[in-house]
Chains A and B, each alone.
Chain A
Amino acid sequence: MNKPNKNKWTKKHLLSIEELSAEEIQIILDYAERFKEVLARPIPKVPALRGKTIVNLFSEPSTRTRSSFELAEKRLSADSLSLAASSSSFKKGESLVDTAKNIEAMRVDMIVIRHSSAGAARLVSEHVNGSVINAGDGMHEHPTQALLDIFTIKEKLGKINGLNVSIIGDIAHSRVARSNIWALKKMGANVTICGPKTLIPRQIGEMGITVTYDLASALKNADVINVLRIQLERQERGLFPSIREYIKHFGITKEVLEKHAKKNVLIMHPGPINRGIELSQDAADGEYSVILDQVTNGVAVRMAVLFLLNSIKLKSGENRIKTTAKTV
């Protein structure tokens, strides 16, 4: 039996990895391990959040993250409901704060939010009394994705400290990259990023990471390669000349891996994959691909986050979103 983590969780919201300490990340990883065991039980469900109500507010399309949160909530016996942008009042022009306050009026304990604007989760957290979880805000952060990524790395390689992790692709527009860089740096990994110059923010080297535009050198010593999705709409804006050009220089294929990477390098991808573009068929389904493990672990990691946010001791009644929130 692993020693339980005695460090205390004190955060009410999960808004970014940037504001977490290494200890806090470790607490989440330790709890996620326990919840992974729960998911392997004959009845993979525990009553820990019975009676709690959680709303998933997704103003951007999502399959993995949303279903993962929904499953995590069900596995913890919470009551949850999901609102998608296309079918909600977002479409009618209701502001985010108004939507959140209307939801809080229904006596909700937690809000999981994905939004196309950076800072959306923080904004909501300032106007409601319950806990808020950022499920992706614009190009800012996607904390639970980074947590499940490092959980998967630790599960497969036994540690994070000292590992070489290369993140390949569109770094500039990627909240996954940003959250991953924070998480990996805090846990002691050496991070290299690689992609076309136009897709790498100029100041990013200041985060204490290695920047390269040459795929071979990014792959050379990597223990883990995290391949990001290329958003095809970026090409229309002229950020890279053509898809074919991108594949030629940055596409990860079995051939490229055999030529440049370590033999047993882990291949990760946050999904959804553009097969044959950033990642080839044979690399995505290859022996060292842990892409589906990432998805499995996502549920356990999100259970850990929901459990921990719910467990903090609040002044009586404060952990329920009040119906009398102040107006803005």
Chain B
Amino acid sequence: MKLKVKAKALDEAGIKRTLMRISHEILEKTQGKEDLAIVGIRTRGAYLAERIAKNIMEIDKKEVPVGALDITMYRDDLTEIAEQPVLHSTDIDFDITGKRIILVDDVLFTGRTVRCALDELIDFGRPASIRLAVLVDRGHRELPIRPDFVGKNIPTAKGESVEVKIKETDDREEVLVLE
């Protein structure tokens, strides 16, 4: 079944402004402490994490370690998904123990991806805290997980789909709601 575009939730400028606001909020909440680190969930969350780190560098002249998680090996639905999983690399080249981690993803939906990411992250060490930042929260959580930083709340029906397109992977910048 082919979905058609219902609405454009964010355009290029909108994504940029939203990520800048999230970056400010992160700095405000963590009060400029040294132990901040940002980890994105592959694929798009990892690029968003890099952008947030760049923003923080701009705002506060502070270099923040950035990592990327591939959660494929932690998924609980490997036997259910039709497509064979594509395995990316996990790159976390700093010690996360004691760090205040901001976990970044593009869309928050059921919360299962975040659960996998939490499991995987904790296998790397014992961070002081983990907060969740997402570009879009579309609702329909199946687990007790909530975001700490939200770019945009987009109420959706369960059958609808939210697509985040960013230049690093898609050659364009927009957030679409499909139905």
Asked if A and B bind, the verdict is yes
Given A2-B89, A37-B90; A313-B68 close (CB under 8 Å): no
Of B72, B84, B85, B89, the residue contacting A37 (CB under 8 A) is B89
* CB <8 Å contact, B123 and A42: yes
* CB <8 Å contact, A48 and B88: no
A127 within 8 A of B: no
* CB <8 Å contact, A45 and B84: no
The stretch among A4-12, A221-229, A249-257, A286-294 that forms the contact with chain B is: A4-12
A interface footprint on B75-99 (CB within 8 Å = 1, 0 otherwise) = 1001100101111111100000000
A243 within 8 A of B: no
Q: Which residues of B contact A42 (CB under 8 A)?
A: 123-125
Q: How far is the CB of B86 from chain A (nearest CB, A)?
A: 5
Given A42-B123, A45-B123; A9-B89 close (CB under 8 Å): no
Most buried by B among A8, A9, A47, A310: A47
A1 within 8 A of B: yes
Give A1 to B68 CA distance when docked, in angstroms: 10
Q: Which residues of A contact B87 (CB under 8 A)?
A: 4, 30-31, 34
Interface residues on A, range: 20 to 34
Q: Which residues of A contact B74 (CB under 8 A)?
A: 46-48
B34 within 8 A of A: no
Given A41-B124, A311-B78; A1-B84 close (CB under 8 Å): no
A43 within 8 A of B: yes
Q: Which residues of B contact A2 (CB under 8 A)?
A: 89
Given A43-B124, A48-B78; A8-B91 close (CB under 8 Å): no
Instruction: List A38-73 residues whose CB lies under 8 Å from chain B.
Output: 38, 41-43, 45-48
Which B residue's beta carbon lies closest to that of A4?
B86
Q: Which residues of A contact B154 (CB under 8 A)?
A: none
Q: How far is the CB of A310 from chain B (nearest CB, A)?
A: 8
* CB <8 Å contact, A47 and B73: yes
Given A1-B68, A37-B90, A47-B74; A313-B123 close (CB under 8 Å): no
Q: How far is the CB of B118 from chain A (nearest CB, A)?
A: 13
B119 within 8 A of A: yes
A232 within 8 A of B: no
Q: How far is the CB of A312 from chain B (nearest CB, A)?
A: 7
Given A43-B124, A313-B82; A4-B73 close (CB under 8 Å): no
Most buried by B among A6, A30, A41: A41
Give A1 to B88 CA distance when docked, in angstroms: 8
Give A34 to B91 CA distance when docked, in angstroms: 10
Q: How far is the CB of A278 from chain B (nearest CB, A)?
A: 37
Of B72, B85, B123, the residue contacting A43 (CB under 8 A) is B123
* CB <8 Å contact, A9 and B84: yes
* CB <8 Å contact, A312 and B89: no
Which A residue's beta carbon lies closest to that of B72?
A48
Give A122 to B17 CA distance when docked, in angstroms: 60
Of A5, A8, A46, the residue contacting B73 (CB under 8 A) is A46
* CB <8 Å contact, A1 and B91: yes
Give A5 to B72 CA distance when docked, in angstroms: 14
Q: How far is the CB of A7 from chain B (nearest CB, A)?
A: 9
Give A310 to B73 CA distance when docked, in angstroms: 12
Which B residue's beta carbon lies closest to that of A44?
B123
* CB <8 Å contact, B82 and A311: no
Given A46-B73, A48-B78, A313-B82; A1-B124 close (CB under 8 Å): no
Given A1-B91, A41-B124; A48-B73 close (CB under 8 Å): yes
* CB <8 Å contact, A41 and B123: yes
Give A33 to B84 CA distance when docked, in angstroms: 17
Instruction: List B41-85 residues whose CB lies under 8 Å from chain A.
Output: 68, 70, 72-75, 78-79, 82, 84-85
Give A8 to B79 CA distance when docked, in angstroms: 15
Q: Which residues of A contact B86 (CB under 8 A)?
A: 4-6
Given A42-B123, A47-B119; A4-B88 close (CB under 8 Å): yes
A: which residues have CB within 8 A of B?
1-2, 4-6, 8-9, 30-31, 33-34, 37-38, 41-43, 45-48, 307, 310-313, 319
26 A–B contacts, CB within 8 A, in A order: A1-B88, A1-B91, A4-B87, A4-B88, A6-B86, A9-B84, A31-B87, A34-B87, A41-B123, A41-B124, A42-B124, A42-B125, A43-B123, A43-B124, A46-B73, A46-B74, A46-B120, A46-B123, A47-B74, A47-B119, A48-B74, A48-B78, A311-B78, A311-B85, A312-B84, A313-B84
Given A34-B70, A42-B123, output 8 extra A-B contacts at Cβ < 8 Å: A34-B89, A43-B123, A47-B119, A48-B72, A48-B73, A307-B73, A311-B84, A319-B79
